[in-house]
Structure 1
Amino acid sequence: MTPAARIQAAAEVLDRIAQGTAAEKALLGWSRGARYAGSKDRAAVRDHVFDVLRRWRSTAAVGGGQTGRARMLGLLRQDGMDPQTLFTGVGHAPEPLSADELGAGRPASGGEALDLPDWLLPIWTQSLGDAAVGTALALRQRAPVFLRVNLARIARSDAQALLASDGIESQPHPLASGALEVTRGARAVSRSSAYTDGFVELQDAASQAVVDALPLAPGLRVLDYCAGGGGKALAMAARTGTEIQAHDADPARMKDLPSRTARAGAQIRTVAAPEGRYDLVLCDVPCSGAGSWRRAPEGKWRLSANGLDALLQTQSDILRQAAPLVGAGGTLAYATCSVLMPENTARIKAALAEMPGWTLELSRQFLPSDGGDGFFLACLRAPG
């Protein structure tokens, strides 16, 4: 496919997304019908689609319309490219721009310029203060690719060398002890020996930093209460060298965890119903994902005020369910991949009001300016 044909394909996929089709489903539908497209073509189209999703409102403003074609026009203009060199109508390229299209478009403003829903702007500003604009703009860009080195099995420098043998270049990132930022060859990570042999895992640097900040030690009884795919459980197991228990309200989310555990040489036991008391319970709760919207930008546009309210209720419910599992003097750790105050400090304040004798030991908000995604962590100490 030519670069122009990729633009046309992305525009068609974006039209399907605008009609309500999930991005991954829309991309899969296109790729199945485009047998001529090679792996580089599919990757390029995907990149275009996600670049627009991150800038859904601003590309429409700059491109002068709500169609996939207009948004791709807006994206090219934002990136300083001359659209007329690609909108040629030759082969599978988009048709030439009309006089109206050439004159359409305007600078984005307000919520458009930040690529945020208008209803969210007051919450965003209140939550982030002076960092509100910078954080919103950071989430309009592609996220770095980070790896977590399995320090229980290999040193970070040795993992770098192993990755380099497969053409993957990386550099240490200061946010977490085992973090590597991939600087070249990111698409080859899942095929590399370092990955398939369990020496590295894909995990954001701030997510790793959350685990680094937990009061972990060998011999503690630890529960990952909202384990999901198990990334944090694996990181905790690597730190302690002992068994971590993993639980999720939807066990299907943990279906790949046994194979990942075996690959990493870790000790993780999935539990349907946690029993007894734990020294540490981690609740990485369902959230808006507002800190990771550059990786999953659809969430930004799918979220509603009612949806956020429902998440807040779920988060409070999880804290109420998990607190009785913490033993005397133990730690209840609460984490989100959000930068929104209602999901973070406000949830902790509300929880402490219901939990006499509990104390706040640690509260940390990670922002994209720190290098990784936006994450929040609070550690609460049980009485006794």
Structure 2
Amino acid sequence: MTPGARAAAAIAVLDRVLEGQPAEMALTNWGRANRYAGSGDRAAVRDIVFDVLRCKRSCAARGGALTGRGLVLGWARGGLGREALFDGQGHAPAPPGAGEAGRVPEGAEALDCPDWLEAPLRASLGADFEAVMAAMQERAPVFLRVNLARLLRGAAVAMLAAEGIEAVAHPLAASALEVRAGARKVQASAAYREGLVELQDAASQAVVEMLPLRDGMAVLDLCAGGGGKTLAMAARAGLRLWAHDAERRRMADLPVRAARAGVAVTLVDRPEAAGPFDLVLADVPCSGAGSWRRDPEGKWALTAARLAALREVQAGIMDRAAALVRPGGVLGYATCSLLDEENGAQVERFLARRDGWTLETARRFTPLDGGDGFFCAVLRRG
């Protein structure tokens, strides 16, 4: 496919997305219907689609319309020389017409921030607001977590390099590598197949490094999902590990991943029957505001009502987690959000309604630190 044909394909996919189809589904359906497209073509079309979705407001302004064509035209106008893709040659999109002049986006629109979220994000991020929102318009780096229980970080770099994957140490976590080249080779690499490295954001790894883990501790990952933080905790100490998720299907791959990493994890439906625990990690459902680079659709789908409902869910999970922690034990509260109402303010409300708990440490990470946006608070039960 020519670059112009790829742009046309992205337009078709985005039209489906605007009709309500999830982007991944729309891309899969397009690929099945256009089997002539090679892996490079599919990857290029996917990149355009997600570049556009990260910058949907500003692309629509530059392109003159909230349509697939308008969005891709706006994306093309935002990059030096890309508007030449709209030349009408072969399968390329037709040249812009008189009614497609577009305009320069301003304010929150230029930063691709939903209007209703601008004030709470400004209040949460302070002087970093504009820089963080600009960083969220870019693609997220690819990070790996080295299983330090089995391999040193430098050895992992060398092992990956032997298979054409360039990775460098990242300062956000002792186990973190940033992949600079060959990212699509990672999951076929020996290091990945043997459980020596896992795909995991650097800030997510840093959250686990904040937890006071020691050999022999009984630890529960209460909202385990796919188990990334479960496995990261296992790599830090010899733990007795349990994992739970409200939707057990999310943990479907965890036993295989744990076996690959050489880790024992017990999946439980009722953690209350297995407790109490020395440490409970509650990586709660949240707005996902810190991971909008990876999930730009989540940014545009979030509503005030949904955010309010999430805050209630978070409070309920914190209370449940607290009851599972033994006296003297630790509760780790984490989100992938940048919003203080889900982070520090949520912790303050917890401390106000529950006696005997103290806050030991808390930290917020933003894309300016290199990884996704995360928050973690470590609380100890008296």
Instruction: Return the TM-score normalized by structure 2.
Output: 0.98
Q: Could you say what secondary structure the match of 2:236 adopts?
A: helix
1:273 aligns with 2:270: yes
Cα shift readout 1:117-168 (whole Å, capped 9, x = no counterpart): 1111111111111111111111100000000000111111111111111100
Match of 1:5 in 2: 5
Aligned pairs for 1:141-152 (under 5 A) are: 141-152=138-149
RMSD: 0.9
Shift, 1:266, TM fit: 1.0
Match of 1:44 in 2: 44
Match of 1:27 in 2: 27
The answer as to whether partners of 1:152 and 1:241 remain within 8 angstroms in 2 is no
Counterpart pick for 2:250 among 227, 248, 253: 253
The answer as to whether partners of 2:76 and 2:85 remain within 8 angstroms in 1 is no
Q: Could you say what secondary structure the match of 2:235 adopts?
A: helix
Shift, 1:93, TM fit: 0.8
| Alignment partners' CA distance in 2, 1:29 and 1:300 | 23
Shift, 1:319, TM fit: 0.5
Counterpart pick for 2:210 among 189, 208, 213: 213
Shift, 1:81, TM fit: 2.0
Match of 2:166 in 1: 169
The answer as to whether partners of 2:219 and 2:277 remain within 8 angstroms in 1 is yes
> Percent identical across equivalent pairs?
59
Match of 1:77 in 2: 77
Shift, 1:243, TM fit: 2.7
Shift, 1:95, TM fit: 1.5
Match of 2:228 in 1: 231
Match of 1:314 in 2: 313
The answer as to whether partners of 1:248 and 1:254 remain within 8 angstroms in 2 is yes
The one-letter code sitting in structure 1 at the alignment partner of 2:79 is D
Match of 2:96 in 1: 97
The one-letter code sitting in structure 2 at the alignment partner of 1:36 is Y
| Alignment partners' CA distance in 2, 1:276 and 1:64 | 57
Match of 1:179 in 2: 176
Instruction: Return the TM-score normalized by structure 1.
Output: 0.98
Cα shift readout 1:305-335 (whole Å, capped 9, x = no counterpart): 0010010010001011111100111101100
| Alignment partners' CA distance in 1, 2:351 and 2:380 | 10
Q: Could you say what secondary structure the match of 2:217 adopts?
A: coil
| Alignment partners' CA distance in 1, 2:99 and 2:165 | 46
| Alignment partners' CA distance in 2, 1:349 and 1:277 | 24
The answer as to whether partners of 1:241 and 1:267 remain within 8 angstroms in 2 is no
Bigger shift: residues 12-21 or 85-94: 85-94
Structure 2 residue ranges without an equivalent (≥5): none
The one-letter code sitting in structure 2 at the alignment partner of 1:119 is W
Shift, 1:271, TM fit: 1.1
Counterpart pick for 2:131 among 130, 134, 144: 134
| Alignment partners' CA distance in 1, 2:275 and 2:190 | 39
Cα shift readout 1:221-258 (whole Å, capped 9, x = no counterpart): 11000000000000001111333111111111000000
| Alignment partners' CA distance in 2, 1:352 and 1:46 | 44
The one-letter code sitting in structure 2 at the alignment partner of 1:348 is V
The one-letter code sitting in structure 2 at the alignment partner of 1:297 is P
Q: Could you say what secondary structure the match of 2:226 adopts?
A: coil
Q: Could you say what secondary structure the match of 2:145 adopts?
A: strand
The one-letter code sitting in structure 2 at the alignment partner of 1:279 is D
| Alignment partners' CA distance in 2, 1:371 and 1:88 | 37
Shift, 1:67, TM fit: 1.0
Bigger shift: residues 237-246 or 135-144: 237-246
The one-letter code sitting in structure 1 at the alignment partner of 2:95 is P
| Alignment partners' CA distance in 2, 1:230 and 1:267 | 12
The one-letter code sitting in structure 2 at the alignment partner of 1:50 is F
Which stretches of structure 1, 4 residues or more, deviate above 4 A after TM superposition?
Answer: none
The one-letter code sitting in structure 2 at the alignment partner of 1:35 is R
Match of 1:344 in 2: 343
Shift, 1:82, TM fit: 4.5
Shift, 1:97, TM fit: 2.0
The answer as to whether partners of 1:279 and 1:326 remain within 8 angstroms in 2 is yes
The answer as to whether partners of 1:283 and 1:332 remain within 8 angstroms in 2 is yes
Q: Matched residue pairs, number?
A: 380
Structure 1 residue ranges without an equivalent (≥5): none
Q: Could you say what secondary structure the match of 1:30 adopts?
A: helix
Shift, 1:98, TM fit: 1.7
Q: Could you say what secondary structure the match of 2:99 adopts?
A: helix
The one-letter code sitting in structure 2 at the alignment partner of 1:262 is A
The one-letter code sitting in structure 2 at the alignment partner of 1:18 is L
| Alignment partners' CA distance in 1, 2:238 and 2:42 | 40
Aligned pairs for 1:291-370 (under 5 A) are: 291-370=290-369
Q: Could you say what secondary structure the match of 2:7 adopts?
A: helix
The one-letter code sitting in structure 1 at the alignment partner of 2:116 is W
Match of 2:87 in 1: 88
